[in-house]
A = this chain, B = another copy of it.
């Protein structure tokens, strides 16, 4: 389907917006009037610029407070409209959005509204222009889409149709099934926006919190299905007012927008039983590995100290920055064994059970650089990602190296699609020696069995984009969303998982003032966390994040929790499905580890304990060295 977007949805000058929108592959734009008014480009220049960029001008908008007014006001309104028709002729735009009046001049009289809209359509026709009448959710007398349609039908003019806007329809809780009562050729335009469910004034909600389809909670696939049932053949067009998008890079926002429309078109096709425009997602069945970049290896007193069983430093007093541990020492302390090294690159493979970590010594500060995902069809995974505009990464393949299909996530994290040790498929593990020579797998020395989840921190403005990416490309489903107090800010978090829970990812925003704290962590599943915690606390107490005693006093007030939780420094959560025990290591660079044990059918992430973790991390002092400035996006 033809895809359009309103210029108000992305940031910049009108010229910058058009360039970014064209680069993302859109077919057309809605020119938002204010963007034209403040532009130094004449309407003729905008027309030429759009044409050169391959963009049609599908709509000029909005024209306000026109209909159902007393005669003297009507004359002024028609004069105002004539001026806009002139601008549209210069622009080469043939469709004008008229939204239902919010003026105190407006009279609650559908016949009058219809009569005046018919007059407007007749005037418009003289300029080759048509009118799309839309019910604003906060219109004075007309605020339901079927009411707007009733007036359009009453007016009965070929140059007058209705415009449907998903926000105005769904924010009021109206049932979109009524759309099917409208003939497709009278649906002159379709504007799409999603939104998070917020209990707030609908005007404020609309002006600041709209988002792209799939980033909110509206059932847009359902709405689009009803619109397509009418026979509507116009564009799917995004109209999104969002404070974040206003500040973000226009090119990036436009790509995000296009990705949302492609996914929406797919969802609507599935709903209607027609052929989706893109291949289906290939759902990963788990983590193949996590790759951490680390600085090139140097002899380290700390590493020796850890391997000799000593803690890297005293756990108290808090608040003092300390030297972070070496990641290899941390992995060794957690029971991982180095099972192989890459013959051609400074990369080590560390294993325990099915948990595999690569240490890539070409980095700077320790950070999560890549994630390996087990895919039943790696090539299919990449095709899916490509169809949703994700960059496919070139792989320099050495002789004897397994080819790895990889893409880049929006934040630059590399995602590799793997079939680890699968018959008939080359395995990335074959690249490592002595691993390749059939070394036995590392035993689960500390009871760690696999990677439970990976948590990635996203810059604030790119959070919704990342969520849409993981949802669309990997087929994950949004799970828990929450806000957690941090001593110096607020952490926002969204968990996503495959339907069977085999792949879990958490996206965080951790904002402190203008700073983004880019912590990332790998949660390792464990089958007996009490035993693991016993051993770790005995051998490497300094590696565990200290938990304040006050936490256990409160835990005792809330639950009959076993007293050994306090001795072991374990955190505890419980819901109606089961229990969750977990602990955290201290932070190395941007990275830390969590060890978790799920009991029963607990599906969460211990959110209730997140404030304790955040405060302990700040107290430990690791954050000062691992903060980085948010890059301004404009």
Docked complex Cα distance between A557 and B77 (Å): 9
CB distance from A431 to the nearest CB of B (A): 40
- Which parts of A34-50 form the interface with B (CB within 8 Å)? 34, 36-40, 42-43
Docked complex Cα distance between A490 and B247 (Å): 8
Docked complex Cα distance between A248 and B488 (Å): 8
CB distance from A612 to the nearest CB of B (A): 5
Say whether B556 contacts A615, CB under 8 Å: no
Is A630 an interface residue, CB under 8 A from the partner?
A: yes
- The digit string for A615-627, where 1 denotes a CB below 8 A from any CB of B, is 1101100000001
Say whether B40 contacts A83, CB under 8 Å: no
- The digit string for A478-493, where 1 denotes a CB below 8 A from any CB of B, is 0000000111111000
Q: Hey, which chain B residues are within 8 Å of A633, CB to CB?
A: 513
Docked complex Cα distance between A376 and B452 (Å): 70
Say whether B548 contacts A487, CB under 8 Å: no
When C-beta atoms are compared, the residue in chain B nearest to A511 turns out to be B247
Say whether A550 contacts B42, CB under 8 Å: yes
Is A512 an interface residue, CB under 8 A from the partner?
A: yes
Is A634 an interface residue, CB under 8 A from the partner?
A: yes
CB distance from A442 to the nearest CB of B (A): 35
Say whether A80 contacts B557, CB under 8 Å: yes
When C-beta atoms are compared, the residue in chain B nearest to A316 turns out to be B40
Say whether A243 contacts B490, CB under 8 Å: yes
CB distance from A306 to the nearest CB of B (A): 23
Say whether B39 contacts A247, CB under 8 Å: no
Say whether A514 contacts B632, CB under 8 Å: yes
Docked complex Cα distance between A130 and B248 (Å): 52
Docked complex Cα distance between A14 and B125 (Å): 69
Report, as a range, how many residues of chain A touch the other chain.
Answer: 35 or more
Say whether B619 contacts A553, CB under 8 Å: no
Is A440 an interface residue, CB under 8 A from the partner?
A: no
- Which parts of A595-634 form the interface with B (CB within 8 Å)? 611-612, 614-616, 618-619, 627, 629-634
Say whether B548 contacts A38, CB under 8 Å: yes
Q: Hey, which chain B residues are within 8 Å of A489, CB to CB?
A: 11, 246-247, 634
Docked complex Cα distance between A84 and B554 (Å): 8
When C-beta atoms are compared, the residue in chain B nearest to A63 turns out to be B557
Is A558 an interface residue, CB under 8 A from the partner?
A: yes
Partner of A611, one of B38, B248, B557: B38
Is A515 an interface residue, CB under 8 A from the partner?
A: yes
Q: Hey, which chain B residues are within 8 Å of A629, CB to CB?
A: 514, 629
Is A12 an interface residue, CB under 8 A from the partner?
A: yes
When C-beta atoms are compared, the residue in chain B nearest to A551 turns out to be B37
Docked complex Cα distance between A39 and B547 (Å): 9
Docked complex Cα distance between A198 and B40 (Å): 36
Is A226 an interface residue, CB under 8 A from the partner?
A: no
Is A318 an interface residue, CB under 8 A from the partner?
A: yes
Say whether B550 contacts A37, CB under 8 Å: yes
Is A398 an interface residue, CB under 8 A from the partner?
A: no
CB distance from A482 to the nearest CB of B (A): 12
Say whether B37 contacts A554, CB under 8 Å: yes
| CB contact under 8 A between A38 and B612, given known A204-B200, A488-B246, A634-B488 | yes
CB distance from A372 to the nearest CB of B (A): 32
| CB contact under 8 A between A80 and B513, given known A34-B611, A247-B489, A553-B87 | no
CB distance from A40 to the nearest CB of B (A): 5
Is A183 an interface residue, CB under 8 A from the partner?
A: no
Is A298 an interface residue, CB under 8 A from the partner?
A: no
Partner of A612, one of B37, B83, B86, B488: B37
Docked complex Cα distance between A511 and B200 (Å): 24
Say whether A632 contacts B550, CB under 8 Å: no
- Which parts of A506-521 form the interface with B (CB within 8 Å)? 511-515
Is A383 an interface residue, CB under 8 A from the partner?
A: no
A-B contacts, 29 listed (Cβ < 8 Å): A11-B489, A13-B615, A13-B619, A37-B551, A37-B612, A38-B615, A39-B548, A40-B616, A40-B619, A42-B549, A79-B557, A80-B558, A83-B553, A83-B556, A86-B553, A198-B200, A246-B489, A247-B489, A247-B490, A247-B512, A461-B513, A489-B634, A512-B632, A513-B631, A514-B630, A514-B632, A515-B632, A515-B634, A629-B629
Given contacts A489-B634, A513-B630, 20 further A-B pairs with CB under 8 A are A11-B488, A13-B618, A34-B485, A37-B551, A38-B487, A38-B611, A38-B615, A40-B616, A42-B550, A79-B557, A80-B558, A83-B557, A84-B557, A198-B200, A246-B490, A247-B488, A247-B512, A513-B631, A513-B632, A627-B632
